């Protein structure tokens, strides 16, 4: 009976970065061409190691956020149609696994940020924090404001009290 051969698992990004100092300059140049699609711009080895390490991490840890892509498509469409860019809303992106806690009317409510950008609350998934805030309070709320992720807006140019003396 012939033993099956399992293909070796590729080294982790950490292992590849740790091994960069052991590469010959020719191997380093070849890796540069593979990653960047061009010859390296300098013979400085330290520069090459740092840029290659960064690129390896960028490739490994790059994540595509579908909601971000959709927002960008809508903004581009609006720009093309009107010729004006809308003021960019400050997007609040929380890391998956983040737990938001809010006490409301003596009850502690916990929300977990899911991997896909949605939120888990009491065993159900919600696309926005505002929907959860409404579920908790029974009224419309800014979810990021309710959970303390966003600070309340400051009053714009309040009227000055009294005059100059």
Mind listing the pLDDT tens digit for each residue in 29-71?
999 999 999 988 888 888 899 889 888 888 877 766 666 677 7
Partner residues linked to 103 by β-bridges: 108
**Predicted confidence band of residue 87 (pLDDT cuts 50, 70, 90):** low
Mind listing the pLDDT tens digit for each residue in 100-139?
888 999 999 999 988 887 899 999 999 889 999 999 999 9
CB 32 within 8 A of CB 42: no
Buried b (16+ CB within 10 A) or exposed e, 152-165: eeeeeeeeeeeeee
> Tokens 């409404």 map to which residue?
134
Mind listing the pLDDT tens digit for each residue in 25-38?
999 999 999 999 99
pTM beyond 0.75: the answer is: no
- pLDDT reported for residue 96: 79
Burial environment of residue 143 by CB neighbours within 10 A (0 to 12, 13 to 18, 19 or more): buried
CB 129 within 8 A of CB 149: yes
């Amino acid at each position: 009976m012939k033993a099956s051969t399992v293909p070796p698992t590729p080294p982790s990004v950490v292992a590849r970065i740790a091994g960069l100092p052991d590469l010959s300059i020719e191997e380093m140049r070849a890796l540069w061409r593979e990653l960047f699609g061009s010859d390296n711009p300098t013979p400085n080895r330290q520069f090459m190691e740092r840029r290659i390490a960064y690129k390896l991490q960028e490739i490994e840890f790059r994540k595509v956020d579908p909601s971000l892509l959709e927002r960008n498509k809508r903004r581009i469409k609006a720009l093309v149609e009107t010729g004006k860019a809308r003021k960019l809303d400050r997007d609040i992106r929380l890391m998956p696994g983040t737990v938001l806690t809010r006490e409301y009317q003596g009850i502690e409510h916990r929300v977990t940020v899911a991997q896909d950008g949605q939120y888990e609350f009491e065993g159900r998934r919600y696309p926005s924090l505002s929907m959860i805030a409404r579920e908790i309070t029974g009224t419309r709320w800014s979810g990021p404001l309710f959970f303390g992720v966003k600070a309340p807006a400051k009053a714009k140019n309040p009227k000055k009290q009294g005059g100059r003396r």
